[in-house]
Amino acid sequence: MNTGLAVISLSVQNAGAILLGVLALGIVVLIHELGHFIVAKLRGVRVEVFSIGFPPKIFSIRRGETEYCISWILCGGYVKLAGMEPDEGVDPRAVPDGFYAGGIVTRLAVCLCGPLMNLLSAFIIYLFLYLAGFPVPLNMERTVIGSVREGSPAAEAGLKPGDRVLSIAGRPVERWEEVTKGVVYSPPGPLSVEFERGGERINRLITPVQDGASKLKYIGILPEELVFVETLPGGAAAAAGIRNGDFIMSADGEAVHSWEQLTSLIRSREGKQVRLDLMRRGARQTVLVTPTFNKELGYPAIGVRPRPVVSMADLEANGLVVYIYRDPFTWIGRNVREMYLTFKGLIMRSLSPRGLAGPIGIVQIMSYSAQAGVRQFLFVLAFISVNLAVLNLLPIPVLDGGHILIALIEGARGRPLGMRAMTMVQNIFMAIFIALMVLVMANDVMRSWGEQITRVIGWRPGQRPEPAPLKQP
């Protein structure tokens, strides 16, 4: 039983995080395959191979009738059951202790228990997060715009930093996640966006466009940033008493919604004092700093840069965390609905398949979540477990759902389907499955290393390379 995944991809920061992401993916797959393995053993079906990852093998050991393997390609895993697939002309249904020998009930139980194990593990994780609370940065629980991409549909519609989004396509939104998904999953054509500015409610029709890298729809707005800074030695900020990890709330009385906004204001105040209101581990402070022209940068600066990593502890110390208490059924329901919207978008062509991501993307997401904190890591683990369960329950040959569908059809007919036709259909869908995996892995590679690749080859896909210039004598 093969396992494939698709989620949105992120970049990787360090080797340790990558290793943790790979191990986490292995855990999700192990749980899934254990479901098949345990039920097969209980129902008397011979298990020939239990493998985490796909060949070539790293390590294998045989215990009884089963070979246990760890393989190099950790993008999934499989359990090979006797008689499940045709083997050198042998009819699978004739194998006495095989997959088909136990009858329809055994086949249904074996196939169902892989996805059910994933759902059970996700339920347990979500239950823990419900009891302990799931921390979310304050800016992500609001719908305040931090920045608007220049030349984007939102910029052309007049949206500005500080505006608060109220609804997308007529649906009220309360957190930034709902803003993003409202745009990504919207039908083709103009989208109604309602927002608030200075107490006034404004409505605009905005037509989303596709992002060049992710191929997901966007209108060009980003959430407000929590601007934490690092202080450079010898600069005006250090002299004014600004320290590493300070959170900048406002500049000259104007609320700071993004790093871009802060730097723009500083550049416009060369030689003039700027009042910065900041938070330092929960204590509010005010400092005065004077921007000076920096020759290396070519513009006025005060000697700060954005802090690359802000831990959940830093956010909590400054009261910038909101705890969500959401029951497991709600979490799982939201996950399943997102999967439905994704499939619907792909079928209706409102989403591009190039926006999907594969195993590399999964590892990257898990790597980032591991750096964010234990609860964030567990949340992603549960999310991917639900995705894996839903994907494998699709009624497609080579997936668990396909085997379940065939078993139900044969039970209704009272006799088995033709093995020759069934094998041909499975082979066709296996080829489609492999092609899809190649596509999503190519998406991962281009998202993660596309810029480096285009720099090496000297041109972008779809663009003809320039001919080499003639050398002058």
Instruction: Judge if pTM exceeds 0.85.
Output: no
The per-residue pLDDT for 102 is 80
pLDDT averaged per 10 residues in sequence order, the chain, 473 residues: 38 56 78 91 91 84 89 76 71 80 89 94 96 91 93 94 94 93 88 94 93 78 93 91 93 92 91 93 92 88 88 87 93 90 75 63 67 82 90 84 86 76 70 70 58 40 35 30
From the list 21, 50, 28, 22, the residue with the least C-alpha distance to 121 is 28
CA dist 250 and 226 (Å) reads 11
Q: How many CA atoms lie within 13 A of 71 on its CB side?
A: 21
pLDDT of residue 371: 67
pLDDT in tens, 121-179: 999 999 999 999 999 999 999 999 999 999 999 999 999 999 999 999 999 999 999 99
3-class SS of residue 126: helix
Convert 246-265 to b/e letters by CB count within 10 Å (16 or more is b).
Answer: bbbbebeeeebbbbebbbeb
Interval 64-110: pLDDT, tens: 889 998 888 766 678 888 887 766 566 777 788 888 888 889 999 99
Instruction: Provide the pLDDT for residue 12.
Output: 38
Count Cβ neighbours within 10 Å for each residue of 90-126 and write b for 16 or more, e otherwise: eebeebeebbbbbebebbbbbbbbbbbbbbebbbebb
Closest CA to 162 of 137, 108, 199, 114: 199
Residue 452 has a pLDDT of: 43
User: Hey, what are 154's tokens?
Assistant: 């939102």
| pLDDT at position 155 | 94
Domains (range + CATH), the chain: 15-133+357-455 (no CATH), 136-222 (2.30.42.10), 229-312 (2.30.42.10)
Distance CA 446, CA 201 (A): 40
Q: What's the pLDDT at 67?
A: 93
Strand pairing report for 191-197 and 171-172: unpaired
Measure the CA–CA gap between 156 and 405, rounded to whole angstroms: 50
Q: How far apart are CA 435 and CA 443, in angstroms?
A: 12
